[in-house]
Structure 1
Amino acid sequence: MRKEILKTGFVVALVLAVSAYAADACNDEMGHVGEGKKVIGTGSESVKGDVGNSGFQYELWHSEGSGSLTYYDNGTFSAEWSGSQDFIARVGLRYAESKNFDEFGNFSADFKFTKSGSADFSYIGIYGWTDNPRADYFILEDWFSEPNPEYLGEKKGEITVDGDTYDIYSFKQNKLYVQGDINYPTFYSVRRIPRQCGHIDITAHFKKWTELGLNLGKMNEVMMVAEAGNGSATIDFTYFNVTESEPSSPAPSSSSATPESSFAVPASDALVESSSSVTQELKPAAKSSESTTAMMQKVHISSSDRSLVVFDMQGRILGKLTVPAGMALNSAIFAKFGRPGIYMVQSDGVFKVLSVAK
């Protein structure tokens, strides 16, 4: 019984910390981490590669003119182009076309950028494509020039999420694809009030599109994109993260379940470490005289944790992290995610909380 109380108190402490430590791309600092690596476009073929050890990939393509992409160790990036009929720079997650979006957990992104210059057309936001069936998709957050409705296609509906309403369109186009000339659709969610920073619930759009009969196939990529045609411009993403949570499993039923505990934590004795100095502090939140932050900071972080899953305090998975031998866990988290703050880490079913500073 005591262990169950301790586990419940720990979960409540995590939930209460959400509002205080939620990631805020518009106000938190991330910045570029590490030395920038510049990739020059060829003007005809795509240039692809890994973004260091961040777990992200990049792709750069443009027709005519010039263009480049500069990426950093934590996944932040910038791009510039001039005189290109069509320029596309993107960074994010790439997959093997083996699963549909609903076989993953939840896709989301946090971003902040500045831009300058001009373009005849442009799309800034989330981009990706799927196969079987083939479909391209955009979640447009901003642009250099407002998208022309002629190229968005037929309006299918709308969705209100992340503080605004997005209009949903489907456009059927004919492009040269691997199997030859075939018709396939592009789905758009276009934010009514453009923005340069914030959080994107990507899966919410996927679900709404499916509800409207706009069907995605097997996932190939989920990336932050800057696409533009003609003109000369620059864009700089100083805060960037695209995440994919693992599929959730039903929580075991329990008469003692805490309603606020929406974050799924494994119900095992491994959740609470055996150290008496830790368990003595993990009391039910309602009866504890200490602050939630004080309780969390007493959770021991072992330097032997070499392979981890890292969460923000809203329970969103930020990514997997392998800690190099000899590097402190705090330093490894900052090196990958590029910002100070409160993080949760999971290793072998054990959840721990720590504060990361620069």
Structure 2
Amino acid sequence: MFSIKSILLVLAGAAATVALPFDVATRDPGTLVERDETLTTSGTGTYGGYYYSLYIQNNCCTTFKLGTGTYDVSWASGAEDVVAGIGWQTGSTSRVLTYTAKYGATGDTLIALYGWSTNPLVEYYVIDYVGTYNPCSGGTQLGQVTSDGGTYNICETTRTNAPSIQGTATFHQYISVRTSNRLGGTITFANHVKAWASHGLNLGAMNYQILATEGYESNGETVVTITSHN
């Protein structure tokens, strides 16, 4: 629920582009799953068999529409930072999920498997799509891991006296960033957990875990659907 960009404001480096981003102004609404519940302010809960989380820094200009196994989030730059997604209130290190996504956003954005652990307190990201800033550019580079048909760069950073799921705290971030953007596929989380551990980055007890969209000082819309999971 906290922006990588706000942590690493000095990061730079354009990300790889993805073919066929969808145009939110001209898309065919008939191709989207009907949404049944809409949120416009920060909150968490359960819907359609999934846990959901929505964080809006300024509670501005954001719409988060929920369906069964799917969400549609749109936001404007006035929100400053938005993190939205669906998943599980208690994550799993053995999670395997397959998803599809449509993307129509600009600026500092990402799509990732995102979550927290406790004891130790860790915030983690497995990023499949990254916009104008690559968060691994400013972290400690630890190598790569090959998983699910792609290569991910691994990095680690530390936040000091920062907001967390346990209040203000000092904690580590473990981050995997795919070297070529994609909008959909399978994420085998255990591959990243094993790769992180090989560099001494060990997770603790799993807290919530979501397939998330984040946008920082940006605007746009994503539609994300979890098609299968263990």
User: TM-score, structure 1 length as denominator?
Assistant: 0.52
Q: CA deviation at 1:178?
A: 6.1
Q: Aligned partners of 2:168, 2:67: CA distance in 1, in Å?
A: 37
Q: 2:178 aligns with which of 177, 191, 199?
A: 191
Q: Aligned partners of 2:134, 2:196: CA distance in 1, in Å?
A: 19
Q: Which structure 2 segments of 5+ residues have no match?
A: 1-30
Q: CA deviation at 1:183?
A: 1.4
Q: Whose strand proportion is higher, 1 or 2?
A: 2
Count of aligned residue pairs for this structure pair: 197
Q: In the TM superposition, what are the counterparts of 1:179-258 in structure 2 within 5 Å?
A: 181-237=168-224, 239-241=225-227, 243-244=229-230
Q: Aligned partners of 2:102, 2:215: CA distance in 1, in Å?
A: 15
Q: 2:130 aligns with which of 134, 143, 168?
A: 143
Query: Does the aligned pair in 2 maintain the 1:139–1:190 contact within 8 Å?
Result: yes
2:99 aligns to what?
111
Q: Deviations over 1:284-321 (max 9, x none)?
A: xxxxxxxxxxxxxxxxxxxxxxxxxxxxxxxxxxxxxx
2:70 aligns to what?
76
Any idea what SS the aligned residue of 1:118 has? strand
1:39 matched to 2:33:
no
Please tell me the residue identity of whatever aligns with 1:90.
Answer: G
Please tell me the residue identity of whatever aligns with 2:53.
Answer: E
Q: CA deviation at 1:107?
A: 0.7
2:21 aligns to what?
none
Q: 2:52 aligns with which of 34, 55, 58?
A: 58
Query: Does the aligned pair in 1 maintain the 2:100–2:227 contact within 8 Å?
Result: no
1:92 aligns to what?
87
Q: In the TM superposition, what are the counterparts of 1:200-349 in structure 2 within 5 Å?
A: 200-237=187-224, 239-241=225-227, 243-244=229-230
Please tell me the residue identity of whatever aligns with 1:155.
Answer: Q
User: TM-score, structure 2 length as denominator?
Assistant: 0.78
Q: Aligned partners of 1:57, 1:190: CA distance in 2, in Å?
A: 24
Query: Does the aligned pair in 1 maintain the 2:136–2:153 contact within 8 Å?
Result: no
Q: CA deviation at 1:68?
A: 2.0
Q: Whose helix proportion is higher, 1 or 2?
A: 1
160 and 60 in structure 1: CA distance in 2 versus 1, 3 angstrom threshold = same
Alpha-carbon RMSD across the aligned residues, in angstroms, is 2.0
Q: Aligned partners of 1:224, 1:241: CA distance in 2, in Å?
A: 12
Q: Aligned partners of 2:183, 2:121: CA distance in 1, in Å?
A: 29
Q: Aligned partners of 2:165, 2:217: CA distance in 1, in Å?
A: 27
Q: Aligned partners of 1:147, 1:69: CA distance in 2, in Å?
A: 25
71 and 217 in structure 1: CA distance in 2 versus 1, 3 angstrom threshold = same
Q: Aligned partners of 2:191, 2:103: CA distance in 1, in Å?
A: 27
Q: Which structure 1 segments of 5+ residues have no match?
A: 1-30, 245-358
Whose Rg is larger? 1
Query: Does the aligned pair in 1 maintain the 2:38–2:65 contact within 8 Å?
Result: yes
Please tell me the residue identity of whatever aligns with 2:84.
Answer: A
2:15 aligns to what?
none
Identical columns (%):
23
Query: Does the aligned pair in 2 maintain the 1:158–1:165 contact within 8 Å?
Result: yes
Please tell me the residue identity of whatever aligns with 1:139.
Answer: V
Query: Does the aligned pair in 2 maintain the 1:126–1:222 contact within 8 Å?
Result: yes
